[in-house]
Structure 1
Amino acid sequence: MKTFKFSNKSTKYLLFVGLFLLFMGLSAMAVIGNWEPISLGLIITGIVAIGIWLVLQGNNDLTSPGQAFWGKRSTQAGTNAAFAMLGFVVILGLINFLGNRYNYRLDLTENNLFTLSPETQQLVRNLNQPVKVWIFDQTQSPQDKELLENYRRQGANFSFEYVDPNNNPGLAKKFGVKDVGEVYLEVGEKRQYLQRVREAEPLTEQTITNAIQQIKSDRTAKVYFLQGHGERSLETKDGSLSEAVQALKDKNFQVEPLKLAETKEVPKDATLVVIAAPQQALFEAEVTALKEYQKRGGNLLVTVDKNTKSSGLEPILQDWGIGIDDRIVVNDSEFQVSALGKTAALVSSYGNHPITEGFQNRYSFYPSARAINVVKLIENVKSTPLLLTSEQSWAESNPDQIEFNAESDRQGPLILGIALSRPIESATPQSSPTPNQQNKSDKPLQETRMVVLGNTDFAVDGLFSQQINGDVFLNSISWLSQQDDRLLSISPKEPKNRRLNITTLQASFLSWLSIIIVPFLGLLIAGFMWWRRR
């Protein structure tokens, strides 16, 4: 019987075909992402072809023992190398599988720059409902993304998402996004604006952690708007503050009207009281109640307009050393006159204060505003101007004939808003709180605060959303609510400066040492070793 024999020349093509099919199948599986019939068929066909080649090689060895394929030293060495490579690939795959399944990070930086503080880790791990950070920006900052990834690793209830506001305008409108780069925190039905990310203002652990702490807190700041003296309405109508009220509710504030003449005292749960342009004077008893409220740590936001002449608030303002100018602020800037009119003060200069942080070079405007005067300095009262007009503005005594008169008018810059604070005179409330109130209360406030703005129209419906008018109002409320007394103390982490301050001579020596001297010594040693071996 004649035996059919395959030559090595013919069988080697079978090996190439098998390897090609195996490579194509693995590539198709990698591209598709799962085991499809096509990729699986290619892989199986390739393995079968390689197996047939191995069998034929073994048959050829039986007919030519002297040229046995498996007995060759090169075959044994190649087989050992193949198994070693296969073992290496298997071990590497297992390491990657375990690393992906059991993720562990080791921060070797001196100040643990890439590790969240213990307070943050505990807060995120104990979240009992989903918390999500929305970044409305088409570009993703690696630094911000790495920080948010650190938060997500701490708990399953934390997540974040980048959204392009141009591609998803509906979601951007839902959050009230005004500028690209704004960041919002969402917890259930509550949403809170965090900041606008820029190259100079990246996200920080302090910002995110304290925002989570505030929005999930059981304590809700309650804002009372004084009513009964012609103040701006809280309901939707001309000249009302309904947009501002809705914005406060969106930021988790409770808003209530306050008729102080009927209650006779400010409610104990009031975080602050807003007095928005009263048109008639307050009763003396109301002024006394407001002063008592401030003595025990209460906070006030006072806004006036061109019609507010005698509001009865003078005793309160005098206690802080300030007064309201009766003249209307006007401006002679061509741009302002063409865009807003002469009697709308345009502001782009702001004081250094938490309320106006990040406002520089951004516009807000105030129709028919009145300037704030610092009448005298009061001991323990800290005052910071917030809104400053340009040098082209002045306080006009005759609005019917706008023309600067050095005798009766006052040249700018003028102060349109001021923030004041002072230590609490008496931390003891008029009536002792109940045991339940004591258990729920946070640490006592350390100071009483007041913000006085020489305008109210900037926050009315229609103007509230223009430029950064709304930000001025909302930031004033946030600062007055003193929510920062509940913030976690998280120290910022900064890399230590490890630079070496060396002289020009030392730098030159190091260059010669690394580029010339050390390589030359290595060349000499190599030459010496070569000469000795000869």
Structure 2
Amino acid sequence: MAKSKKFQKKNHPQKYAPIGLWLGGIALLVTGLLLVVKFMLVAQIFTMTNDKGLNLALWISAGLIVVGPALFVLLDPKRARRFLAGRQARYGSNAILLLAAFLGILLVVNILAFNYPGTPMDLTESKEHTLAPETLDTLAVLPEPVHATAFFTSQYPTDTARQLLENYKTYSDGKFTYEFIDPDQNPVAAQNAGISGDGKIYLQMGSRHEIVAYASEQDVTSALWRLMNPGEQTVYFLTGHGERDIETFGDTTIASVRAALEAKNYTVKTLNLLATNAIPADAKAIIIAGPLDPLTDGEITLLRDYSTVGGALVIMVEPVPLTNYGANPDPLAAYLATQWGVTLNNDIVIDTNSGTQPLYAVAAAYGDHSITRKLQGQVAFFPDARSLSLGTGIAATPQALASTIQDAWGETNFADQNAKYDAGADTPGPIILAAAAEDSITGSRLVVFGDSDFASDMFFSQYANGDILINAIDWAAGEEQMINLSKPAQTPRTLKPTSGVISALLWLSFLCILPGLVVAGGVASWLIRKSRG
């Protein structure tokens, strides 16, 4: 009989009652942390793609605060009554009231911050998260609402772009909104917007639109200015020499280039100088895309005259064996060498860095130029390219835009099926694949690529091929930026490692001194209470 009573006592549910208090305490701690996270989210200290999970966790933890103590009372009602009637309950009630007041204040602040977000505070010394005054002025005079659609795949980070667009929305007085679309999940939307590539932003103002290639304040604000100040931007593609077709889509045509330019509000036309013998006055830039036959001296004269009044040229050339030039003179090559200091070498680039495709020249390095500055870390490749050599021209001194690795070379023996570098005849690496130049007097600009295949529909959307070409056309046409932002200089921060003695003192203080003070305080409190009886 005694054994039976002992067994019943051992399995009495009272011994599980403290679990309820532990559960409620942990739930209270978790709820406090989640409220802090929620507050930081509302205050835009950081952003979350979806806060539904956070809200669900907050409700569950708040519910467990009630469920835990209730479980304790249910399992051990006698101890609960003793606790509520004793001295600990009086002191505990004060702590509970203070905690309830703190949570109430935090809840009210959270609700007010959510319903009246106001202007977020930028507490960084250099105001890294504050929009430039020019951007704020632009947002203040928006004539119509602007909606931004950011096309980002799941592989492309969105934090910076989301924070930037959120800043535009905050300071726009309701005139700027945005959304994110994954082009992999919604390819139709990307196609309708004329988006090729990842990380692009489509801005819509009324019936006008602009495509922003990079999620930067400079690019977004410049696009807003173009939307507010519409003007026809016409570029011409030269024809009559077997250049690549811009009208029909195909592996060797460049209709994707035309579509990308039209998506950026360019007016794209063709120009046959052999027929018109004149360059239109509205030509922002003339693009020569892979001519198979040489241009005439008369056409070169027209292009030279066009450049002297600030015209812009974007030229893509192929290796001589891939054209119909043969032994005929090349007036275009002579013009580029004398006027601009860009020599088209008679070779074909061999790049061992491209694995099984040695004729695919890979841009391993980019120059510090407006065209390529934002391409750092990205790859562009140029199938069947010829190398460029840079000197000093009459109009300007060119700058390299893209170069291969050191081990690449320009092969001059086109009949050799097993090409290898010949120091006496071949062009040594690194090979220059693209170059740009600007005449500081006339304002004319030139971009030369030693290849045109990279711009074809087959390769245009691969890696940074399309970006480098569209950037080049934007720069040549003077549309790379419409406004300069006056951002404050960032304050450099240098972390200096502490000495061994200081590190030891820090470790000693955190591991021994501070815990020791807490323990000493507890012992002192206990002794004082004991002395008072």
Aligned twin of 1:32: none
Residues 150 and 180, structure 2, Cα contact 8 Å, conserved in 1 = yes
- Specify the code of the residue in structure 2 equivalent to 1:163: I
Shift of 1:499: 5.4
Q: Deviations over 1:148-193 (max 9, x none)?
A: 32222222232222333443333344456666x5232221553414
- Specify the code of the residue in structure 1 equivalent to 2:348: I
Q: How does 1:82-97 map to 2 (within 5 A)?
A: none
CA change 1:183–1:380 in 2 (3 A) is: closer
Matched, 1:226 2:242: no
Task: Choose from 119, 131, 134 the match for 2:147.
Answer: 131
Residues 137 and 162, structure 1, Cα contact 8 Å, conserved in 2 = no
Shift of 1:487: 2.4
Aligned twin of 1:473: 469
Shift of 1:249: 0.9
- Specify the code of the residue in structure 2 equivalent to 1:355: I
Distance in 1 between residues matched to 2:274 and 2:194, nearest whole Å = 37
Residues 454 and 465, structure 2, Cα contact 8 Å, conserved in 1 = yes
CA change 1:512–1:158 in 2 (3 A) is: same
SS in structure 1 at match of 2:291: coil
Aligned twin of 1:43: none
Report which of the two structures shows the higher radius of gyration computed on alpha carbons: 1
Residues 234 and 240, structure 1, Cα contact 8 Å, conserved in 2 = yes
Structure 1 residue ranges, 4+ long, deviating more than 6 angstroms after superposition = 79-94, 518-522
Shift of 1:132: 0.8
Distance in 2 between residues matched to 1:449 and 1:422, nearest whole Å = 4
Aligned twin of 2:308: 295
Aligned twin of 1:243: 256
SS in structure 1 at match of 2:387: strand
Distance in 2 between residues matched to 1:192 and 1:89, nearest whole Å = 46
CA change 1:106–1:386 in 2 (3 A) is: closer
Task: Choose from 145, 148, 159 the match for 2:165.
Answer: 148
Q: Deviations over 1:80-123 (max 9, x none)?
A: 99999999998877655544443323334333333323322232
Distance in 2 between residues matched to 1:520 and 1:414, nearest whole Å = 64
Task: Choose from 318, 323, 331 the match for 1:312.
Answer: 331
- Specify the code of the residue in structure 2 equivalent to 1:269: D
Q: How does 1:264-303 map to 2 (within 5 A)?
A: 264-303=277-316
Residues 295 and 424, structure 1, Cα contact 8 Å, conserved in 2 = no
Distance in 2 between residues matched to 1:373 and 1:85, nearest whole Å = 74
Shift of 1:366: 1.8
SS in structure 2 at match of 1:210: helix
Shift of 1:263: 5.0
Distance in 1 between residues matched to 2:96 and 2:105, nearest whole Å = 14
Shift of 1:144: 4.1
Q: Deviations over 1:378-399 (max 9, x none)?
A: 6851421424266254423334
Distance in 2 between residues matched to 1:119 and 1:280, nearest whole Å = 48
SS in structure 2 at match of 1:185: strand
Task: Tell me whether 248-257 or 495-504 shows the greater mean CA deviation.
Answer: 495-504
Aligned twin of 1:421: 437
CA change 1:138–1:87 in 2 (3 A) is: same
TM-score, structure 1 normalization: 0.66
Aligned twin of 2:349: 329
Residues 409 and 427, structure 2, Cα contact 8 Å, conserved in 1 = yes
Q: Deviations over 1:396-454 (max 9, x none)?
A: 3334755448387415436353323234334xxxxxxxxxxxxxxxxxxxx43211122
Aligned twin of 1:6: none
Distance in 2 between residues matched to 1:87 and 1:93, nearest whole Å = 10
Aligned twin of 1:208: 220
Distance in 1 between residues matched to 2:364 and 2:221, nearest whole Å = 30
Aligned twin of 1:68: none
Task: Choose from 126, 143, 162 the match for 2:180.
Answer: 162
Residues 366 and 402, structure 2, Cα contact 8 Å, conserved in 1 = yes
Aligned twin of 2:13: none
Shift of 1:349: 1.5
SS in structure 1 at match of 2:213: strand
Aligned twin of 1:118: 133
SS in structure 2 at match of 1:240: coil
Aligned twin of 1:182: 199
Q: Deviations over 1:7-64 (max 9, x none)?
A: xxxxxxxxxxxxxxxxxxxxxxxxxxxxxxxxxxxxxxxxxxxxxxxxxxxxxxxxxx
SS in structure 2 at match of 1:278: coil
TM-score, structure 2 normalization: 0.66
Distance in 1 between residues matched to 2:378 and 2:99, nearest whole Å = 63
- Specify the code of the residue in structure 2 equivalent to 1:218: P
Task: Choose from 484, 490, 495 the match for 1:488.
Answer: 484
Task: Choose from 481, 489, 493 the match for 1:497.
Answer: 493
- Specify the code of the residue in structure 2 equivalent to 1:322: V
Distance in 2 between residues matched to 1:391 and 1:84, nearest whole Å = 72
CA change 1:112–1:280 in 2 (3 A) is: closer
- Specify the code of the residue in structure 2 equivalent to 1:133: T
Q: Deviations over 1:348-376 (max 9, x none)?
A: 41322443342546352323x32222355
Residues 371 and 414, structure 1, Cα contact 8 Å, conserved in 2 = no
Residues 279 and 311, structure 1, Cα contact 8 Å, conserved in 2 = no
Distance in 1 between residues matched to 2:159 and 2:363, nearest whole Å = 32
User: Identity of counterpart residues, as a percentage?
Assistant: 26
CA change 1:230–1:147 in 2 (3 A) is: closer
- Specify the code of the residue in structure 2 equivalent to 1:328: I
